[in-house]
Amino acid sequence: MTSYRSELSRFLNRLLRRSVLDYEERNAILSLSGRVEQFRPNFDIVSPGNTVDHSCLIGRGLAARYDQMANGQRQLNAFHIEGDMCDLHSLVCPTAAWGITAMTTTTVLQVPHVELRNIIASYPAVALAFWRDGTADASILAKWIGNLGRRDARARVAHLLCEMALRTEAAGIGSREHFWFAVTQNNLADAVGLTPVHVNRTMQVLRRERLIRSSSHYVYIDSWSRLVDVADFDADYLLLDCNRVRGPNKLVAGAAAHSSQPLAIDRETAGGFT
C-alpha cells in the first residue's frame, strides 16, 4: 500500500464541486492508500456478483458500469472518467449486482473499504461529501433512463455527447468543444439502446448537420448551442452548480475550491469512435 496523491487529487476536486472541506479533511482524502491495477479494454474491473473489499477510483482511461442479461447482452448505464470513484456505493453494498468494465486501457486505484470507513468516522463532512457524490451518480442514472425511454436516436446520442463534454470539462480533462471519448460504436450502442448500425447512421446525421466531428478518439462539437437544442439538454441533473454545503443546513458561500494540475496522460485506446 502506497500513497497515490495525483489520482486522489482528481477525486477530491470532484467532491469539492459539491461540498466544502477544510484543509485537514482534504489532506485525509489525499492520504488514502490503495493498490493500483491496470485493466485491458473489455476486461471487467468488477464482475456481476463479485463481493469486493475496496472501491475503484479511475486514475487513467475510461470505464463503464453495466447490467448483463441472461443471454449475455448488456446495457451500459454509466460512463466513468478519470477522478470518478465509480463504485463508492460498494462501501455499503459490497456485493455487485452490476459490472464495471474497462472501455480503454484503464488504471484503477483500489481503495480499501476499511480506509474509507475510517475517514468517514473521523470526518463527518467527508461522509456528507461522499453522500452527495453518490447522489450525483444517481441523478445521472435517472437521466439515462429517461433518455433511453423517451428520446429518439438522434437526441439520445446528442444528449450523451453533451453530458460527456460537460463532465470532462468539469474534471479538467476536456472541454465542451473538444474531449477524448475512446468508445467504439458497439460501446455507444450499448449505452444508448440502439444497434451499432443505427448508431453509425445517427452519427452520420449529426456530422452532416455540422454539429460534431470525430477523429482519433476525440469528439469535436462544432455548435454547442445547436447540439444542446437537439438533445433537449439541461445540465442541472449533473449537479455541477449545486450549493456546496458543509454540515446540516449550513450553506458556505465563497469558499475557495481546491485545484490541481491535470494529469499528463498517455492515452491508450481500443477501437475507434468513428
Q: How far apart are CA 115 and CA 55, in angstroms?
A: 10
CB 6 within 8 A of CB 83: no
CB 166 within 8 A of CB 240: yes
Block means of pLDDT (10 residues each) for the chain, length 274 residues?
75 95 96 94 95 96 94 92 96 94 97 97 97 95 94 97 97 96 95 96 97 95 98 94 56 36 37 48
33 Cβ contact list (under 8 Å, min separation 6): 1, 2, 3, 4, 111, 112, 115
Q: Which of 187, 183, 179, 184 is nearest to 163 (CA)?
A: 179
Q: Write down the pLDDT at residue 240.
A: 86
Q: Write down the pLDDT at residue 218.
A: 96
The answer to whether the predicted template modeling score (pTM) of the entire model surpasses 0.85 is yes
| Set of cell numbers at residue 215 | 477523429
Q: Write down the pLDDT at residue 114.
A: 97
Q: How far apart are CA 80 and CA 92, in angstroms?
A: 20
Domain chopping of the chain, boundaries: 2-238
46 Cβ contact list (under 8 Å, min separation 6): 52, 56, 87, 90, 96, 98, 99, 100
| Set of cell numbers at residue 33 | 492508500
The full DSSP string for 183-244 is --HHHHHHHHTS-HHHHHHHHHHHHHTTSEEEETTEEEES-HHHHHHHHT--GGGG-TTSPP
Q: Write down the pLDDT at residue 243.
A: 59
- The fold of the 2-238 domain, in CATH, is Jelly Rolls (2.60.120)
Q: How far apart are CA 41 and CA 186, in angstroms?
A: 13
270: how many CB neighbours lie within 10 A of its CB?
16
Q: How far apart are CA 97 and CA 117, in angstroms?
A: 21
